[in-house]
Amino acid sequence: MAKVTQDMVEEMFEKYFEAGRILSQVRSEAKDRIKVGASMLEAAEFVETRAVELGADGSAFPCNLSRNDEAAHATPRAGEETLFGEDVVKLDIGVQVDGYIADSAITVDLTGEYGDLVKASEAALYAAIDIVKKGTTTAEIGAVIEDTITSLGFKPIGNLTGHGLDRYVPHAPPSIPNRRIGNGSVLRTGDIIAIEPFATDGIGKVVDGNLTEIFQVVRSRPVRLPAARKLLKELEPYRTLPFAKRWFKTEKLDFALLQLEKAGVVHSYPVLKEVGGGMVSQAEHTLIVTDDGCEITTK
């Protein structure tokens, strides 16, 4: 096994920070494109191309534009003509530099009526950030998130979590709960985590919706059908990073994806919807845990 040197560690963290700097600029520019009457597809494509223009090696996952009772995993279809209406829009962006990931989300209220809901997820995020340091447990973070959201009159979405980040892996241990749990993982100096509270005026739980546009290669396994083999070859540059169907013009794309999913090679990410139809807000930053606090890479 190759020895990990201090220079290698410093280079790794610099790439995390570079991804975060790029994401922060893209997020700021993209927010201005989320307005009533604007194209959802154009907004998503702007996010994904702008990150590369600014020096990223690509998206860490497809741009998520989840609206209203959608909490996550919504991204436009190829050729989609849907326009933003008076929606509560979750903009969730992932950027990668050499596989090192920055992940951040904001909520844009185009209705003018859900400002308090937006503030609930934001307040929970920063309350959680305030307690992060070496030795903090994920259970403590979950309790702070739940207390903050409920104190403002809303509910956390209990079956959605934040997560760790690893190279080419946008969802790694530890899981960061958005509610109280019995036991949690202990954070260590150098851990890379994404905290992402979701607040709702609904029931506080999400279920799979009917639409799926995002997939991820999760294991390597031989496949027999030519269409599936061809698609798997095209997916190699993404490694274990999620991808959108609209990124490919492969013949028999749906058929090939179905075969790969049946073989356990790819995992699908259906749009997640609040089970009671409640409005949902989200806020998220990527952090590096330090001895006495944390550094936000995506601020």
Q: Give the catalytic positions in this structure.
A: 92, 103, 163, 171, 196, 284
Determine if residue 251 is labeled as part of a ligand binding site: no
Determine if residue 291 is labeled as part of a ligand binding site: no
Determine if residue 201 is labeled as part of a ligand binding site: no
Determine if residue 163 is labeled as part of a ligand binding site: yes
Cα–Cα distance measured from residue 205 to residue 145, given in angstroms and rounded to the nearest whole number: 15
3-class DSSP assignment, residue 221:
coil
Cα–Cα distance measured from residue 205 to residue 201, given in angstroms and rounded to the nearest whole number: 11
Determine if residue 92 is labeled as part of a ligand binding site: yes
H or E element in which residue 167 lies: none
The first and second tokens of residue 177, run together, are: 């709960």
277 sits in the region (left: phi over 0; alpha: psi -120 to 50; else beta) called left
* Alpha-carbon distances, residue 151 vs 73, 123, 249 (angstroms): 28, 10, 48
* Alpha-carbon distances, residue 265 vs 89, 254, 256, 257 (angstroms): 31, 14, 11, 9
Binding-site residues from annotation for a divalent metal cation: 92, 103, 163, 196, 284
Binding-site residues from annotation for substrate: 73, 171
Binding-site residues from annotation: 73, 92, 103, 163, 171, 196, 284
